A and B are shown apart, each in its own frame.
Chain A
């Protein structure tokens, strides 16, 4: 609530009334503060409780996990070790890192120049190109899936993760859009100064603009990395027949089917899949939040 400034008055009675009003307003504001924080804390508990319940579950014995108990009778952190012996978690992890890491690397190489041309260079057709980027970003992947799948089949690459990695060599629409948004926020003057000094456009980009867009590039890279880390549809489409190339998402989805009743182990595996993402988020929270904010702002 914004404070209302009292209209100027000379009568002392008026002043006393104002003071009373002020007091009342302050009390109301304090009550509002308490109500807001009560709701906020209650909601925060609701949002966090799933994490608490699954952590508790993951530490129970298999026998207790079959009951409706919420609190472990004895604590069994060794469940987390057992997950690794029950399923090839390390293979899943290696595949996921390979997919996410290579895809991110290739995306940066191809998408940074494209985003730069779309935001910092003047040329005819730029607006049309931007519309194409937006359309590629918006269109569900299923729309173009059949011919692309046929293409990878003809190249004998189904069963591997390459159909998910290689397209990033030719740019990723969402990353291009996001990078463009970041590049637009950098003042033109520095680049112009470098151009007057006779720098080539490539040097202007790599020496002047990119160093100033570091946090934006980091955010974009992180988004794609997380997208790949979480991706289920892609690995399912291309590698479901070949468990050697499964990622964590695929392995996790079939984990429960292999170990029917063992909710404790399933929840331990679930937490293992969450941890890396949460850790990276806490380490780079500021960059991340800035990036998400930009995704909602349309240029």
Chain B
């Protein structure tokens, strides 16, 4: 090819090059066209439209009506349920996410040490993470059923107190955390892979320096797996912000009467609103009550928060990674 090019004149070469470049660009465009349309239709347009709709009153039947900041005013000063929903969601972000990460790391550390049965244990600990969320919640509401559930039967046999779990406003969210810990396998697998990737020489060098296990964790293991931890933290927080299925199904099944998705406002977040999450409130206001303008305002707040979380954590992670000298 180079020989063929060399024999041609300079003008020919540049036009051939240009033609090739153009074909290249067309190829890239052809490969990307569906995706570009997807970005425009399902991302850019709805994002802009959500912001617009958040300043309007809109119920699908009549065209949107501009009402300025009134939706935001209502959300931030008047709506008592959005406050409760935001509080419950914040609770999940602060408790559920770190609990799952710590437990996932602990289980992964244990599996690394179980050299002989690593494969079997990995499968066992991962298995619950595969269970469909609705099935997992149903199983847990049954297991923790106050009257006849196996957990309270066992606690009773041991002479321990038998809490009301999903039916107690103070324990409903901790019960959901237990469900989250049972399904910790997704994090465990990721942590396990990165633990196995820590260079052996670093552990050997640390052993020669006579470090204790805590120092080994702090100065060898954590710096090496910190990018993976950070990624898990970001995705965990984002998932907690949109926590929906488990809370909705747990409330509906534990109360034994709510319709799917919480059409009955009195039973929302059963018991006593303790499981009402922000995403659920957005769903109910927008798609059950058709306050679409108000739901858009809630969505804009959610967008700002999740974008902020992502950016803050990303910046922290960069400094963390650089501190550990291995920049990716």
**Interface residues, chain A, CB within 8 Å of chain B?**
1-2, 4, 32, 36-37, 39-40, 43-44, 47-48, 50-51, 53-54, 57, 66-68, 70, 109-111, 113-114, 116-117, 121, 123, 129, 132, 135-136, 138-151, 153, 167, 169-171, 176, 196, 200-202, 226, 229-230, 232-233, 236-237, 240, 248-250, 252-254, 256-257, 260, 263, 266-267, 270-271, 273-274, 277-278, 281, 285, 289, 292-293, 295-298
Interface of B: prevailing SS: helix
Closest chain B residue, CB of each to CB of A238: B287
User: In angstroms, how far is the closest chain B Cβ from the Cβ of A154?
Assistant: 9
- Contacting residues, chain A, for B60 (C-beta < 8 A): 150, 153
**Partner-binding segment picked from B3-11, B75-83, B165-173, B237-245:** B237-245
- Check if A70 sits within 8 Å of B34, measured CB to CB: no
Per-residue interface assignment for chain B, residues 272 to 316, with 1 indicating a CB less than 8 Å from any chain A CB and 0 otherwise = 000000010011001100001001100110110011001000000
User: In angstroms, how far is the closest chain B Cβ from the Cβ of A242?
Assistant: 13
8 A–B pairs (Cβ distance < 8 Å), ordered by A:
A2-B207, A40-B110, A40-B114, A121-B24, A151-B46, A153-B60, A253-B248, A266-B142
- Check if A254 sits within 8 Å of B260, measured CB to CB: yes
CB interface residues, B 2-34, toward A, < 8 Å: 24-25, 27-28, 30-32, 34
- Contacting residues, chain A, for B235 (C-beta < 8 A): 138
- Check if A274 sits within 8 Å of B148, measured CB to CB: no
B287 in complex: contacting residue of A176, A237, A249, A260, CB < 8 Å:
A237
Q: Please measure, in the bound complex, the distance between the C-alpha atom of A167 and the C-alpha atom of B37, giving whole angstroms.
A: 10
Per-residue interface assignment for chain B, residues 52 to 70, with 1 indicating a CB less than 8 Å from any chain A CB and 0 otherwise = 0100000010000000000
A270 in complex: contacting residue of B28, B43, B138, B261, CB < 8 Å:
B138
**How extensive is the interface on chain B, given as a class?**
35 or more
- Contacting residues, chain A, for B133 (C-beta < 8 A): 230, 232, 249
A143-B306, A230-B133, A253-B134 are known contacts. Are A113 and B242 too (CB-CB below 8 A)? Answer: no
A169 in complex: contacting residue of B34, B47, B234, B306, CB < 8 Å:
B34
Closest chain B residue, CB of each to CB of A106: B34
Q: Please measure, in the bound complex, the distance between the C-alpha atom of A53 and the C-alpha atom of B234, giving whole angstroms.
A: 34
Q: Please measure, in the bound complex, the distance between the C-alpha atom of A271 and the C-alpha atom of B253, giving whole angstroms.
A: 17
- Check if A144 sits within 8 Å of B299, measured CB to CB: yes
A54-B142, A142-B282, A292-B190 are known contacts. Are A70 and B128 too (CB-CB below 8 A)? Answer: no
B193 at interface, CB cutoff 8 A:
yes
- Contacting residues, chain A, for B256 (C-beta < 8 A): 256-257, 260
User: In angstroms, how far is the closest chain B Cβ from the Cβ of A233?
Assistant: 5
List 20 extra interface pairs beyond A281-B127, A297-B228, A298-B228, CB under 8 A: A43-B110, A44-B125, A110-B35, A117-B28, A121-B31, A138-B234, A143-B300, A145-B46, A146-B53, A147-B45, A150-B60, A171-B39, A232-B244, A236-B261, A267-B142, A274-B131, A296-B191, A296-B193, A297-B194, A298-B227
B35 in complex: contacting residue of A54, A114, A273, CB < 8 Å:
A114
- Contacting residues, chain B, for A271 (C-beta < 8 A): 135
- Check if B117 sits within 8 Å of A40, measured CB to CB: yes
B189 in complex: contacting residue of A226, A277, A293, A298, CB < 8 Å:
A293
User: In angstroms, how far is the closest chain A Cβ from the Cβ of B172?
Assistant: 17
A143 in complex: contacting residue of B32, B34, B50, B143, CB < 8 Å:
B50
- Check if A270 sits within 8 Å of B135, measured CB to CB: yes
B259 at interface, CB cutoff 8 A:
yes
